[in-house]
Structure 1
């Protein structure tokens, strides 16, 4: 039986030749060529940078089908010419853009008054300034002179892309002429003894040669993937395929093409996916099969964009450029067995990551509808898989960092847009941070300031990262059901209104009643039997009467409803102004919880240790104020030089990570003190020059040293996730009491 679909590749050189020969035609039901000039430019950039540009869907045509579908030439192709071979079902915009840029037809772009010319600035391309290297301009008198004069092109480092479509010896002749032009310039500079001109001309000669090599590689080795439908398929079936692609969003993606390319190697990727699908079904997404490939790719080469997925094919060579500029080729996956093993490892990694995200004491995405991002899965799974490969003694700290990165990503909306490049960058940043504490990613610094600016009032729709992140945080905090007092199971848990929706429809504008600030995790039974459509000033007194105010207040605080918020909810009458005051108070409480539990990383601590950690923090803040007061009282005193040096380095590192850092503030003494650690605060107080100023408060240096040591021991045990024995804890608590007294 003849295959109805045949996957294949074609080199750029061959594709341009087929475009020149008019082998591609467009069926009448396709839309017109709609790309803007800059869209064509971006496609050229992708091709020259060896990026994957998607696959084409072509139907091997015959005359009756060309006629039946009223096929037309590609935009700009001369009428009456050409030898049609393929009907383009998917990829018309890309093929037409390539035809326009490489073949340079003498026609204006659609809805434009002039013809556009596309070119590469070779000097910028070789300097890897890719955003500026690709350009287009309109055919003016100036550009007519440039196009007709290769010498001007060589001098200005302008490579017209139409050279690639001219055919024959045009391209090699241009490359040879470009290199020779700068060789001649080098010789002239040498004869004139102009050192600067020699250096510039020699560099241009080298770039000309390397650009020529790159052009040769692009034209001969760059592959465009396509699926060819058999010419004997019925027209109605082909039209149905086209409709599926363009109307229902079903498309041939990276998974489909890799599946087709693996078949000759003895691998049935779709069968492998069917076997794995049930293990990953918690997450509702159509992209999970591609996510498996992305995890494979991240773990093998750190990248996961579509271009890089094709290097996962067994035996496929990947071009690599080493830090010293050396170019080589590397095979990432040796054979089908290697591919299959890495596939299974990726499935295992995703399954383990999903279970971790589901766990109510880890990340608390207890239902797929409360997962902040689906798109974060590949990099999250890859980070977790990488952590399993490092030394066992380092994994505790590694998981702490992974949690910090995850929550920072959630509350900065990091994975709400295009994610492949973000995933690659985050994976490499996390690997570096796991090895070196000083390599903290800029994201962590951004999180520390960004969360303070979030307006949770606007989060009215379940599914956004911030909405779901706050809901997960409530589950992590042990939010208990108001009626049973138990932590509600996932299958019975939902987010319900605190102030009922019906009241909001009558008294409030817009959708503010649906804000996450007015919602909390409760069981369906509590929502139905306790709340229903009643206001809090009706159902909360009933709960208090039955269970006591202390018990109800404790449960509400696990929902980030503070005593102040409770007092507002109990007001009678309850007005729209009261509602606004309530959600403002809950906004404050949420931000406080994020800062305490996530930014300051107290989430993993037992409640009692959280309280001790907060007390230690208050002592550090008090010590800083005391030091500032002493130093500001007399200008002859200043911080010891080694402390100032350390602080300056830390501020510089922070500024590199966060461009919004207030440099003026951190030039002040108060700002500098924020970058002093506990040991440096101790050093500042006990130093010989400053001790006389502090002695009236601390009295005995020996006692001070002992208390600092006890405090530091407890602090380090808490903040570095080490167990503290009973003596360390008791001595630390005694030090906290001592400092609280002397700082009062």
Structure 2
């Protein structure tokens, strides 16, 4: 089996349960491997294809740890032993377990053999020594009884485990995935990125190191503090020089783009190979020659090298941080504002392509920013993302990024889109809709303040604000609008400070705006029940304009709600249009 040095995610209890299930003859699911087609070497000779683990890595690792006594890599990337103890005379009828994770108490008990790997993997003389020691510690048990129970433990090695070998020359990648899902419907669904990682792990010469690079980058992007564990425990990776390539992540605290291993694989592959479907990467890693329809060892080797280079481009500090600055410059300043990771992934593809082509930095920034916002606003990669990405990267190769973006803008976000389609599409109820997030990004971009506040939206998002209703939902529910679709309309949401929302409570606009207007007139906040913190009319007028609040809002009640929504939708779309065209 190919080695996969990913952190072992099972706890010791789960390992114990696995051993107990095998011991008692219970099914533990199938181990599934995929065998690459026969490869044609440079000299024309043939070689067997590599074997990759498709499903069962955790079970295999658990068995190797408990039966062979091998170390596993824990979540801190530290090699550790998992020892499973065996009680030969456990009273299972009384609820005692035959197997337990080794604890100090069990280690001191004469009833337990403290490590089953000593029996299952030890020499005959070592096993006899264990039996003799156990007999001395348990004089009430006869030698025959002990031998019988130890023999029963040793029979665990002869238990059959379901094993399926899938031959890639007989089944397509999609068919393999379908088989997996049917067999393992209760497990984690397999995807093409898992296949790719398995293929990388099976290439020990080159693939193992890049697989670790992908895994570690994804982990550190979310949890920078784990750097010290990787540095301390994976000396091979450190000595390879690859750890230094991602060491900068230990000081990174941003969360706008924290890619997982699948994101890194997809983005690197699309950027470097000009393809959007990960099944193609799996095929290339297997050595497939798409034109000749054969499998060649040289193609597999070249793919690994090209992919390694692409991943290094992905994790490059200069590229990655520059890309994040571009995204944040659009007003999307945290991950909660970005519902589609694919929009980020493909925007990074565009960035890497333009950087590789030595694009003018100012043009690169403008193009990447517009591409990203266009993708979010139009939900470009929300449906059949692989097909959309494959189409885009191939069209970019033909006509260039700038020309292709202009084509998309002419067809998908024309003036008709801004004037009519977007206004109509705003008739939706969601706090996380791309339209609403784009509107908030526009406010951040323009430096707007939160609703009835003198604090910028950027600051409110980072410290003490949230999304709230201009017409309070409790007020609407009590006045004939009980449906979530009504009170959670996109056009009913603003960003405001938490204290302001508490002050508004369930008051209708005409009621709470009376206090706001009085504060603007007097130049002072209400002594007992202030609302917001605006104390002059110029600031109030500007604030309402920034938040796209229609004229007459200060006089509105539930009877005006539908007209208010339509008017605000138009104002919000105009703001988004101005924002996009200014990028």
Shared fold (TM-score, shorter chain, > 0.5): yes
State the alpha-carbon separation in 1 of the partners of residues 259 and 333 from structure 2: 20
Match in the other structure for 1:577: 559
- 1:310: which partner in 2? 282
- Cα separation, 2, equivalents of 1:483 and 1:576: 24
Residue 596 of structure 1 corresponds to 578
Q: Which residue of 2 aligns with 1:483?
A: 453
Q: Assess if the C-alpha contact under 8 Å between 1:501 and 1:513 holds in 2.
A: yes
Contact 2:491-2:568 within 8 A present in 1 as well? yes
Partner in structure 2 of residue 7 of structure 1:
33
The whole-number CA distance in structure 2 between the counterparts of 1:402 and 1:440 is 13
What is the rounded CA distance, in whole Å, between the counterparts of 1:223 and 1:552 in structure 2?
A: 60
State the Cα distance separating 1:90 from its structure 2 match.
12
> Residue 203 of structure 2 corresponds to which residue in structure 1?
265
- The equivalent residue for 1:50 is none
Counterpart of 1:532 (choices 505, 511, 519) is 505
CA distance in 2, matches of 1:354, 1:593: 25
CA distance in 1, matches of 2:466, 2:386: 32
**Native 8 Å contact 1:372 1:465 kept in 2:** yes
Which residue is 2:353 aligned to?
A: 386
* Structure 2 counterpart of 1:342: 310
Among 492, 503, 524, the residue aligned to 2:475: 503
Cα distance in 2 between the residues matched to 1:348 and 1:570? 52
Q: How far 1:407 sits from its partner (Å)?
A: 2.9
How big is the shift at 1:246? 2.2
SS at match of 2:466: strand
- CA distance in 1 between partners of 2:389 and 2:488 (Å): 32
* Shift in CA distance, 581/304, structure 1 to aligned 2, threshold 3 Å: same
Name structure 1 gaps, 5 residues minimum.
13-53, 61-84, 96-217, 228-240, 322-326, 605-744
Between the two structures, name the one with larger relative contact order (CA 8 Å, sep ≥ 6): 2
2:191 counterpart of 1:253: yes
- 1:7–1:226 Cα contact (<8 Å) kept: no
Quick check: 1:353–1:384 contact (8 Å CA) kept in 2? no
Q: Is the 8 A contact 1:459 1:516 kept in 2?
A: yes
1:495-523: CA deviations, max 9, x gaps? 22112121111122422221121111223
Paired with 1:464 and 1:89, the residues of 2 have a C-alpha distance of 43
Distance 1:401 1:413 in 2: 18
Query: Structure 1 residue aligned with 2:394, among 428, 450, 465?
Result: 428
Matches within 5 A, 1:456-471: 456-471=425-440
Who is 1:280 aligned against?
A: 221
Distance 1:335 1:584, change over 3 A: closer
Structure 2 unaligned runs (5+)?
4-29, 39-52, 61-159, 223-253, 524-534
1:370 matches 2:337: yes
Paired with 1:550 and 1:439, the residues of 2 have a C-alpha distance of 40
**Displacement of 1:271:** 3.4
Conserved 8 A contact 1:496-1:522: yes
Inter-partner Cα distance in structure 2 for 1:337 and 1:576: 64
Paired with 2:399 and 2:304, the residues of 1 have a C-alpha distance of 34
Q: Distance in 1 between matches of 2:407 and 2:54?
A: 35
Q: Distance in 2 between matches of 1:462 and 1:589?
A: 18
Give the Cα separation in 1 of the matches to 2:33 and 2:175: 7
Please say if residues 10 and 224 of structure 1, whose CA atoms lie closer than 8 Å, have aligned partners that are also in contact. Answer: no
> For 1:158-307, what aligned pairs fall within 5 Å after superposition?
245-247=184-186, 250-266=188-204, 267=208, 271-281=212-222, 288-307=260-279
Query: How far, CA to CA, are the matches of 2:326 and 2:430 in structure 1?
Result: 21
- Encode CA deviations 1:54-108: one digit per residue, 9 max, x unaligned: 9688999xxxxxxxxxxxxxxxxxxxxxxxx9968899xxx9xxxxxxxxxxxxx
Asked if 1:557 is matched to 2:545, the reply is yes
Please give the secondary structure, in 1, of the residue aligned with 2:349.
Answer: helix
The 3 A distance-change label for structure 1 pair 366 and 532 is farther
The change in CA–CA distance for 1:456 and 1:505 in structure 2 (over 3 A counts) is farther
- Give the paired residue count: 382
Change in Cα spacing, 1:330 to 1:467, as seen in structure 2 (3 Å) is farther
Residues 509 and 557, structure 2, Cα contact 8 Å, conserved in 1:
no
Could you tell me which residue of structure 1 aligns to residue 290 of structure 2? 319
SS in 1 for 2:575: helix
Distance change in 2, residues 1:458/1:223 (3 Å): closer
Aligned counterpart, 1:402: 368
Secondary structure of the residue aligned to 2:341 is coil
Per the alignment, do residues 89 and 311 of structure 1 end up closer, same or farther by CA in structure 2, a change over 3 Å counting?
A: closer
Contact 1:316 1:332 in 2 (8 A): yes
Deviation at 1:487, TM superposition (A): 4.0
Q: Does 1:520 align with 2:494?
A: yes
What are the Cα deviations for residues 95-147 of structure 1, in whole angstroms up to 9, with x where unaligned?
9xxxxxxxxxxxxxxxxxxxxxxxxxxxxxxxxxxxxxxxxxxxxxxxxxxxx
The answer as to whether partners of 1:457 and 1:583 remain within 8 angstroms in 2 is no
Shift of 1:420: 0.8
The CA deviation string for residues 550-577 of structure 1, in whole angstroms up to 9 with x for no partner, is 111112212222xxx1x42211xx3323
| Aligned partners of 1:405 and 1:443 also within 8 Å | no
Residue pair 2:257, 2:324 contacting (<8 A) in 1 also: no
| Counterpart contact for 2:276–2:393, Cα < 8 Å | no
Confirm or deny: 8 A CA contact 1:317 1:332 kept in the other structure.
yes
CA distance in 2, matches of 1:391, 1:486: 36
Q: Equivalent residue of 2:272, what SS?
A: helix
> TM-score, normalization: structure 1?
0.44
Equivalent position SS for 1:252: coil
Which runs of structure 2 are paired with 1:145-160 in the superposition (5 Å)?
none
Tell me: CA distance 1:353–1:398, structure 2 relative to 1, closer, same or farther (3 Å). closer
Residues 370 and 463 in structure 1, CA contact (< 8 A), matched pair in contact too:
yes
State the shift of 1:221 in Å.
9.7
Distance 1:10 1:426, change over 3 A: closer
Structure 1 residues 329 and 589, CA gap change in structure 2 (3 angstroms): farther
SS state at 2:478 partner: helix
Q: Using the alignment, how far apart are the partners of 1:262 and 1:462 within structure 2?
A: 40
